[in-house]
Amino acid sequence: MTPTDLKPVRDHIAAQIIGQADFIDSMLICLLSDGHLLVEGMPGLAKTTAVKALAEAVEGDFHRIQFTPDLLPSDLIGTDIYRHEKGEFEFRPGPLFHNILLADEVNRAPAKVQSALLEAMAEHQITVGLRTYPLPDLFMVLATQNPVEQEGTYHLPEAQLDRFLMQAVVTYPSREEELKILELDAQQRGEPAARPAAPLSQADLFRMRRDVSALYLDPKLHHYIVDLIQATRQPRRYDPDLGRWCRFGASPRASIAVARCARARAWLDGDEFVAPHHIQSVVPAILRHRLLLTFEAEAEGITTDAFVDRLLTLVAIP
């Protein structure tokens, strides 16, 4: 399999939204890396549209859940139903048993719902009572959230954030892009959205994943990845300001994520091995939701992206 085989998926998503190339790349990298994606942005920026377009372009079941404060864990997991004719309980699966799950406005749900989603994302299974049920081989969560400053939103637990492979930030379009959005809306009004001729089969997707995981990553770059993640835990060794700005660094899961995503980035670029620039291109999306900055950093207007950008200039490339 080659990146050309994934081009119809990219083209279908790009036909539904204007711009947002980094967002599309993040979705494809997570798809190839068997990971979950957290998408943050203000309402109306086509986050949901893009996720639905990805689901249309890939073979599998798709389900959307609108997260609300009154959502219950059983609304995700499913529940045991008593069958009078059999005299026993029968499990009725919930939305988590679909291949691609859109968790819309995920940061509006209570903690119990987040814990149910956490098990599915972390263990690829769900537990109901005393029984555990495996999820499909293709299981991907794409969760959208509005910025936490919005009314009725809550910070996701750090343990759950760590289970998202990447976090994409969707920004406002440029003036030229917004003009194209108006043109696209006029063209599509009253007509059903175009669907891909043939969705990417799960068998082909799994072959692509094997190709990605087999891509060569030099042992020296293993050291570079670990140095980057270690630097988030001991930033003062590199710069006094970085030490003032960061409370908690990233876990070893971040190192694994960087290696996996860098391979996917290199594969998408058509390269036969991972280079330092592949690592640097994926690090911001992997670390932006895993770092906890200090109140001092927030007061100075320092974002996690600014912290990571500074870090990338200080950690030596082998």
* DSSP, residue by residue, 166-235: EEEE--PPPHHHHHHHHHHHHHHTTSPPP--SSPBPHHHHHHHHHHHHTSB--HHHHHHHHHHHHHHHSG
pLDDT (tens digit per residue) in 34-52: 999 999 988 888 888 898 8
Spatial contact of 19 and 174, defined as CB atoms under 8 Å apart: yes
Would you say residue 179 has pLDDT above 70?
Answer: yes
Q: What's the CATH code, domain 3-188? A: 3.40.50.300
Q: What is the pLDDT of residue 2?
A: 85
Spatial contact of 30 and 39, defined as CB atoms under 8 Å apart: no
One-letter amino acid of 263 = R
Lowest-pLDDT range, 69-78, 115-124, 149-158, 293-302? 149-158
Q: Report residue 97 as tokens.
A: 């048993």
Strands (DSSP E) found in the chain: 37-40, 62-66, 78-83, 88-93, 100-104, 125-128, 131-134, 140-145, 166-169, 246-248, 292-293
Specify which residues 40 forms β-bridges with.
145, 169
Q: Of 294, 291, 295, give the one whose Cα is nearest residue 305.
A: 291
Q: What is the pLDDT of residue 30?
A: 96
Tell me the backbone φ, ψ of residue 40, rounded to 5 degrees.
-115, 140
Lowest-pLDDT range, 16-25, 58-67, 150-159, 276-285? 150-159
pLDDT (tens digit per residue) in 268-295: 999 999 999 999 999 999 999 999 999 9
235's CB contacts (< 8 A; 6+ apart) are 242, 243, 245, 246, 249, 311
CA distance 236 to 43: 37
Would you say residue 195 has pLDDT above 80?
Answer: no
pLDDT (tens digit per residue) in 107-136: 888 888 888 888 899 889 988 877 889 999
Q: What is the pLDDT of residue 141?
A: 95
Q: Report residue 95 as tokens.
A: 């939305």
Spatial contact of 293 and 304, defined as CB atoms under 8 Å apart: yes
Report residue 192 CA to chain centroid gap.
Answer: 28
Domain at 215-314, CATH class: mainly alpha
Domain map of the chain by residue range? 3-188, 215-314
